[in-house]
Amino acid sequence: MDFDPDGDDIVDRVVVDHASPSTDRSVARRVALQALYEIDAAGHAPGDVLLNMITDDEDVRKVRAYIRRLVTGILAHRGNLDEVLQTYAPEFPLQQIAVVDRNVLRIALYEMAIGTRTPIGVAIDEAVELAKLFGADGSARFVNGVLGTIALNIEPLRAQLRGEGMPDEDDDFDDDYIDEAEPETEPPSPLD
């Protein structure tokens, strides 16, 4: 028996419309969150996940370099990011935090402390919006609280996460670059 989503088996179906992302980077964050969720929850190889996530959709295609940068950067620094998150949310063991919330926090912390071209307020606002869109009822408030506390201590955290005297990872990243001519090859993965 095949499943028919429009059939009588569906008792109540609610389609929730979400606002379109406001910027290209908002699109990138949404796709990066979905990729990190799959990597974290299912244990799929990052390169495979990125190949599947980076579609031919024009909005995604335009920001695929930033998607890759977020995902590979977060995976490369995941241990250090998680240590910081555990410090600022000690009553919530990181592995017990919902997968969506954990990865929303990782994205925001990465953008705030390692790739520092994103203003702190923007990183927090974007994280709260991701939590509202993909998380549970209390996710946005939880994410906002943790990131607000982190923001108060961001300078020492930047030094800790990047290493003293190291430039931020966005220094060599061109915001205006659209990688249309980039060859379709599997991106390198720090976990492969």
Would you give the distance in Å from CA 82 to the centre of its chain? 14
Which helix (H) or strand (E) segment is 146 a member of?
A: helix 139-151
Q: How confident is the model at residue 19 (pLDDT cuts 50, 70, 90)?
A: low
Give the Å distances, CA to CA, from 153 to 78, 100, 109, 181.
19, 24, 12, 40
The answer, yes or no, to whether residue 183 has pLDDT greater than 60, is: no
Residue 104 to residue 114: CA distance in whole angstroms: 15
Which sign does the torsion angle of CA 38, 40, 45, 50 carry? positive
Residue 164 to residue 180: CA distance in whole angstroms: 35
Q: Quick: pLDDT tens for 20-68.
A: 766 889 999 999 999 999 999 999 999 999 998 887 777 777 888 999 9
The answer, yes or no, to whether residue 171 has pLDDT greater than 60, is: no
Q: Two tokens at 5?
A: 């989503």
Could you write out the DSSP letters of every residue in 169-180?
Answer: TTTT--TT---T
pLDDT at residue 39, rounded to an integer: 96
- Is residue 108 within 8 A of residue 126, CB to CB? The reply is yes
Q: Quick: pLDDT tens for 120-151.
A: 999 999 999 999 999 999 999 999 999 999 99
Q: Two tokens at 105?
A: 């926090």
Residue 164 to residue 69: CA distance in whole angstroms: 22
Q: Quick: pLDDT tens for 100-117.
A: 999 999 999 999 999 857
The answer, yes or no, to whether residue 174 has pLDDT greater than 50, is: no
HEC profile of 94-136: HHHCCHHHHHHHHHHHHHHHHCCCCCHHHHHHHHHHHHHHHCC
- First-to-last alpha carbon distance for the chain, in angstroms, is 39
Which CATH code is given to the segment(s) 24-162? 1.10.940.10
Amino acid (1-letter code) at residue 2: D
Three-point CA angle 184, 79, 156, nearest 5°: 110
